[in-house]
Structure 1
Amino acid sequence: MSIDELWATILKQSSPSTAVSSSKTVVFLGDSLCGKRTLLSKFCGQDGEIYRGHGLGYDYLPVKSKDDDDLGQLSIYSIDAAAPLRAQIKAALPNKSTLEDSIIVIAVDLSKPWLVLECLAKWIKEVKEHKDQWLELSGGERNDMADNFQKKWLKAGQFEELPEGALSDNLGVEIVVVGLKSDALQGVLNDEGMTEKHADLLQFQLRKKCLEIGASLIYASVKEPRTVETLKAYVLKRLYDVESDILQARGVSREALFIPIGWESEKRVNLLQEGAGLPDEIPIPQQKIYNFEQEIEPEDEQKSLQRVAEILEQAASKNPTAAAAMTKSRLNSSASASPGGAQLPRPSAAGLNASISGSPGGKMGAMPSPGSGQHSERMLADFFNQLLLKKGPAGAANSPKPGTPGAAAKK
């Protein structure tokens, strides 16, 4: 054998282990704030602050075999739910061949269990529309994709024919449904007055839907690193056939559930209904109503005085003695609350006597006796009415000083 033939033989034998596989893609779908970005950072092995951009996100992951051979570079796309979806999905999955060589990860938020099925149905609809309308695949191409995926599913589960209920809604695309924040699920249910049976109901509904579309199901939490590692190892196994020893199915766990492709069956799903049975639904919690204190607007000073004067006049007509005491109390409080802290003058016997003697109606020689309650009330009411005519601090300066005879007569 010549040297050239020897080298050709060596290269031919080594090429399967060193050749770079064709490009593979994983696309992450999910609603905003469902935990998708945090999952992506852990999936790619990134530490530190999470980058939160807008629009289509892209990253990559070098893939190596157990023998440390380079198998290729996994393209990772993240679809932003707050941006136009059509352009993003079309950029990530531009044609039929890319779609067949990809895995679509649909992330749902388990901390809001009443919205999980709605979210899943929304993204399944987007995948269907992309395949049927945006890529404009013919009926024959869609049937080929469905047949190829059915063969994958049967091979993974080592079935000769499809079990009952499996692939009743065959999309022709491999999907992994990831329930995020699984560690918070039971706490949320307890806070809303629900039980473990509601968690079982959610798992039953998810597993039933995943069986229909042939999807895998994983519960993941960034607080449980093995759950994220399970997702990563499973994606690499499905796309690059990289072996891993952490891919055993876990069908009884509430926080680390793992249902791989081809493992599920209706019999296993129905085990969740045994015993006391499941609730009919996961109720939507009622929106909490917060009571805010009503803001109190201050009343205009003149309007307040007018209102108090009317109250005093009504009281005077019914009980003159009690009204006189009320007038004195109101007058003292109004004077202490006047603008700038200025004290309004208080009537004295001399001042009231001078005011009355200088009135146009006639002359009175002396202050009524203390025993005359009605006269005393009338004098206080007259003085209070004079306060209503004063506006601002300027009026207070022109008011008669207590104890100054004849001050009320000078105008």
Structure 2
Amino acid sequence: MTAPAGIRIDPSLEDLYKDLHRHPELGFQEHRTAGLVGDRLRASGFDVTTGVGRTGVVGVLRNGDGPTIAMRADMDALPVREDTGLDYASTVTATDDTGKTVPVAHACGHDLHTTCLLGAADILASATSEWSGTVVLVFQPAEELGAGAQAMVDDGLWDRFPKPDVVLGQHVSPLPAGKIAGHPGASYAGSDSLRVKLVGRGAHGSMPEASVDPIVLAAATVLRLQTIISREIPSTATAVLTVGSIHAGDAANVIPGEAEIQLNIRSYNETVRGKILDSVERIVRGEAAASGAPDEPTITEIERFPVVTNDPDALRTTLDAFTDWLGASNILDPGAGAGSEDVGILATSCGAPLSYWLLGGADPSLFTTGDLTDPALLKVPSNHSPHYAPVIDPTLGTGVRALVVAARTWLGR
């Protein structure tokens, strides 16, 4: 793998990455990160606006006539206790939006995204003779909450800053470092997370006849929900329904008064999504009625991510440039992934095509074939794992260069 001519990586980026990794912040709490981002962008010569969508940062660099591109990096971390053993591992805790103290870690790689985009910003700003147009850098909060992109749009993102002709971005993944992957069309699933509250009637454990047991109701509901995908959705459609949390009661001899279920739905098609959501409501209310529940259940949306759709032509333009740089063997098509992202909102809200790709971040020595058939893909830690952390070299350098190559491909000259 050779670096494109003129793209040299600032050695200080590694220290910046480690600093961000040590100091993760939850969604809409990225105040320290936003401050560092703003300072670096100003030093590179960008016009900087902070507080966009609460904690987002936008940097704009105008360099004559030409296309306008937007490049996005997310900044937030996860409520995960890091267990990587790295000397720059996070030991941070924070208060979440429920008032609970939680461990926080960059277990999804957003610290790398931020570092890479800052590195690319400095390179573009220092080589303005090689391109023309306008660069809009979007450092987004709260991707993990599915709320940050929409918050920036609602705060006038494309009214206050130049509208792009294309939106570019990347996400680090467990692919071997040095590889890049992208899929045209529907690339990442839409996601709906719901909280279901089931109301029963509490009683002493010795007198179940005096109760409407919400635990039995919850168990019946969970089992029935599992039939939606297998019995109500066409076999040609791709969808997932997971019940990830169920809670009721605090004592062995007390029948509680209510139970709570949290579930997540992944889908790629609005018709399929609507069918699943309708079925969830029908089953939840039907099981409550069948149990004789004294009150109606409630279903509350926790978060929602729309389907991420890569514009085929825009993605091909970017991947062709990557192929010229890295060689065809290092460019992969991963197919549609079940993970979710809100980057697509930035593109659809302004009518621009999206070109979004995966950046390999795993130690290449762990792989044999290095492609999507490699068994190591099932063994290396993945995003959101407490063990997840990309290898800095060559991931950081590849990520910076990928953004610069993509930017120069879309800009003038």
- TM-score scaled by structure 2? 0.23
Tell which has more relative contact order, 1 or 2 (C-alpha 8 A, sep 6+). Answer: 2
Question: Which of the pair is proportionally richer in helix?
Answer: 1
Larger Rg: 1
- TM-score scaled by structure 1? 0.23
